[in-house]
Amino acid sequence: MLRSLLGVLSLSAFAHSRSVPRSTTITSSTPLGTAQGILDTSGATRYAVRYATAERWQESVVATNWQLPNDFTDPGALPLQCPQLDADDSTFSEDCLSILLYVPPRTPGPAAGNLNTLVWIHGGSFDSGSATGTGLDGSNLAVATNAIVAVLQYRLGALALLAPNGPPNLSVLDTMNAIKFLGQVLPSFGGTASAITLAGQSSGAGMIRTLLATPSAQSLFKSAILQSDPMDYGFLSTATQTILQDNFNSQLPCAATNTSCLSSLSVNTILSAYSNTNSAATSLAPSTGLGEPIRPVLDGTLVTSRLDSTAPFPATSKPLLLTTVLNDAGPTIYNVLFPGTSPVPADFFAPTVEETLGDERAQTVVDSSYYPIDPNGDEDARVPLQLLGTDYIWRCAVWTFAREWVGNGATGLAWVGVFEVGATYPDNEDIPYCLEEGVVCHEDDIEIVFGTVPSPTAAQAALTLEIQTRYRAFLENADPNVPGLATWSPATTDDVNALPLGGNATAVDVGACTPSFWGDAVQYDYQFYDI
């Protein structure tokens, strides 16, 4: 139960209206035509652009001319999001392959063409979210890092990952095409294709991990920032994807080979079929989990490396920043699994772990000292369950990845951090636990990074300044260390040297993330299910 529910989180659909008034229109000449942008009050200029087009369930094609999204004529208009569940039809379109580009003020001269670019890939379990999600306005981040910030959209859910008679990783190809498009136009805004860093949170980070496992994507970016990636899940196997695909196809009123019928289906029909398959996924294939049951596939042609501890990593020199937050599992435990404010009896702990992990793994966890609780006591079982969920799905899995990245055939460095200060994301505002002092829930790092926290506290403002300063250094020098800030040591195979980001701690407690426990004594899901 815990495994199957962890990570069911999505970005709020829209943080602002379709068109945001701005005072000045800016034009820039690009190889693909004239770009029209809107000058932001921060001094950055925002450009909206369609980066590719795609027929339904076909590979996308990079745009050959500069166009506003959705055939809009207003440069201030925001793109429609990709089709997704629980969104009004008027807010989405299959014509959704768009980028919001934020360009900082430029100083004329030789340095004007040396801007780095940070490409943000939104989260949302691969089936929700958009470039216009809450807090994703890249203007402040662009100014603070003196970098171009590109926030992109990619196809979601069934329209991306369940093509009835086509390739399984369409959203991965979309993301690659977005970066290829940027490579053509960045020089027009002071950037360069050779200075692109990818960044993303949750499934957005998972998308970046997919690109790291894709040989044909390696030349597209130089470094990456992965925030709260649920690495425990791993990629889908082709066998599991086939099971899900067959179930989805059975929900449609068309044969998988009837392209004419498939093309005529309404989006709502497709979303309804997707919902059914998504809900049934764990019963069809236990390795899926409800958090991201339909996700990129290790297909052996596009995505060729497992990028987990079960096989050698491909050699690479890409530097990585890998972060989690203090209470990644908080929303799931306190809102999805056990909602409300009443404590959960202590004797619920062991059965919940057993249902999640199975008998053998559960017994090892319950017998360990890492998640202590007296089954006959009056403790709240949610306390150790939250710690367990955070370790299992996010923190320890990421730490294992970091050790493998720097020691198993890779030559790149990795820096590991834990957000101990955050800003309550709108998804978490109705969860009392996430409002408690000192709690940092999944997604609470987003507005810190973007500098979009409404009325930040002193601690939030300080951490935003630190993170944006470190990210700027990482973009420019492939190293997040900056004079005046605490030294951030890179991970080694023995010690990931996790840095507390914000808060008063001087070090992050290793706890169950020691190499001898998670990934060894207790297997991750990708090991247990031999994904």
Q: Where in the sequence numbering do the catalytic residues fall?
A: 202
Q: How far apart are CA 234 and CA 253, in angstroms?
A: 32
Q: Do 261 and 173 contact (CB within 8 A), yes or no?
A: no
Write 26-34 long-range contacts (CB < 8 A, 24+).
28/188, 28/189, 29/188, 30/66, 30/184, 30/185, 30/188, 31/184, 31/185, 31/188, 32/63, 32/64, 32/65, 32/66, 32/184, 32/185, 33/65, 33/66, 33/67, 34/66
- d(CA 246, CA 28) in angstroms, rounded, equals 47
Phi and psi at residue 292, to the nearest 5°:
-145, 60
- Residue 84 exposed, middle or buried by CB count within 10 Å (0-12, 13-18, 19+): buried
Give start and end residues of each alpha helix (H) in 48-167. 139-145, 157-161
Rounded CA-CA distance 306/40 in Å is 42
CB atoms within 10 A of CB 255: 12
Answer whether 327's CB lies under 8 Å from 386's CB.
Answer: yes
C-beta separation of 406 from 415 below 8 A: no
DSSP secondary structure letters along 195-260:
EEEEEEETHHHHHHHHHHT-GGGGGG-SEEEEES--GGG-PBPHHHHHHHHHHHHHHSSS-TT-HH
Which residues, in sequence order, are CB contacts of 432 under 8 Å at separation 6+? 334, 341
